[in-house]
Amino acid sequence: MNDRAGKIQLGIGAIVAAVLFVAVVIPNFVSAPSNVPNVILSPRFWPNAIALFTGLTGIGLLLTALRHPEDERETPVDVDHRGMALLRLSGVAMVMLATVYAMPRLGLVWTTMVAFIAVAFLVRTHHPVSAVISAVAIPLLLYAFFAHVAGVAIPQGEIVRLP
């Protein structure tokens, strides 16, 4: 499969997933009270936002793929990297298990920082400084918003507690 065909398939898949989530999954499986005063605090807001961004990403992939001329050359699949891919997939599964184990002890914010950094280096990011900055800044900013602005209780750990 060439790069253009892969982008087209990925774009169509993202659009189908977004439509499926907006039309079926979120309305049927995400419960939300009808009297939420602020739309951002509704439990359906962020799943809908993520589905919308997924659909926009799919449209962007389709437009990018259709704008470039078709390349008939196939991209060879390097079979030697399959073992490393399975090893990284196993590593991500271990990070997920460790996250579930560490969440009650460290709390949501600290656990997500460590998990983000672990996954970033597990997949061998080309931007390690950005990954570490994002791993620290995003959970702290989300905590500050939800705990202090929205008034939502964020799970704290037994070891370190945030203000």
**Which residue has 């799943």 as its token pair?**
47
Q: Is the pLDDT of residue 56 over 90?
A: yes
* Percent above pLDDT 90 for the chain: 54
Q: CB neighbours of 18 closer than 8 A, spacing ≥ 6?
A: 51, 52, 54, 55, 58
pLDDT recorded at residue 21: 96
pLDDT recorded at residue 1: 56
Q: Report how far residue 55's alpha carbon sits from residue 41's, in angstroms, rounded to the nearest whole number.
A: 22
DSSP state of 151: -
Domains of the chain, by residue range, sit at 3-67, 82-149
pLDDT recorded at residue 111: 94
Q: Report how far residue 155's alpha carbon sits from residue 49's, in angstroms, rounded to the nearest whole number.
A: 23
Quick one: average pLDDT of 135-163? Answer: 87
Query: Which residue did the predictor score with more confidence, 130 or 82?
Result: 130
pLDDT recorded at residue 28: 93
* Percent above pLDDT 70 for the chain: 93
Quick one: average pLDDT of 75-98? Answer: 82
Q: Report how far residue 55's alpha carbon sits from residue 13's, in angstroms, rounded to the nearest whole number.
A: 9
Question: What 3-state DSSP class applies to 156?
Answer: strand
pLDDT recorded at residue 124: 87
pLDDT, averaged across the chain: 88
- Chain centroid to CA 107: 19
**What is the pTM for the complete model shown?**
0.62
